Structure formats: structure tokens, C-alpha cells
Amino acid sequence: MQVVEYRGDLYPKFQTIGNASQFAIPFAKHLCYGRGYDIGCMKPEWAFPGAMPIDLDFDDPWHADNLPSEQVDYIFSSHCLEHVPNWSKTLLYWTEKIKSG
């Protein structure tokens, strides 16, 4: 596997072109169904299929710590939590946004 160095750490080279979630999506399709959010997808075309794409780069007020008021069936996110100020608080917030059951 080819790697790149960034700030002293090594990362898979494919991450330099974005859409790193493409490798997680096939597995997630077995678990994520119904209405959901894809948080931190960076581009709408990279969002989990059928999910509402949410990213700081979009022209809307939604982001990891400010989601729409409705509850959803799932939240999909890849390579996002390392960018939020308090990931444990964000995960607790996300669990409140997921429907029971």
C-alpha cells in the first residue's frame, strides 16, 4: 500500500483524493437503512446512499454538533470525530438523534 506523510504520521495515499468512506460504505449498507444522516461527507456525492449529507462546507446550519431536530434511523460518519472539539460529547449527542429500536 502506498502511503503519504502528513505532520509526521503516515496515511494511506488514497486519503489524499478524499471519499475515504467508500471502503466502509459496502459494510454499512447492511446496517444502515431508513432515514439517516451522513455527517462529515465533505461532498454530497460522497454521502452514504440515501442519507442527508451534513458537512461544515455546505450552505446550511447543520454540523456534527448541530443536527436537525428530527430523529433518524441511523447516523453514518467516517473520518469526522477526530475533527470535533469533544468527540465523546458529540457521540452522546448523536445517540439522542437516533430513534429507539
What sign has the CA pseudo-torsion 89, 45, 74, 27?
negative
What sign has the CA pseudo-torsion 40, 42, 48, 49?
positive
- The confidence score (pLDDT) of residue 14 equals 72
pTM exceeding 0.85: no
Total number of domains in the chain: 1
In a domain, 67, yes or no: yes
Residues 20-69: pLDDT tens digits?
777 888 999 999 999 999 999 988 998 999 999 999 889 999 999 999 99
Query: What is the residue range of 74's domain?
Result: 18-97
Residue 3 pairs with which residues in a beta bridge? 12
Q: Where are the beta strands (DSSP E) in the chain?
A: 3-6, 9-12, 36-39, 52-54, 74-77
| Contact by Cβ (8 Å): 64, 70 | no
The overall average pLDDT reported for the chain is 90
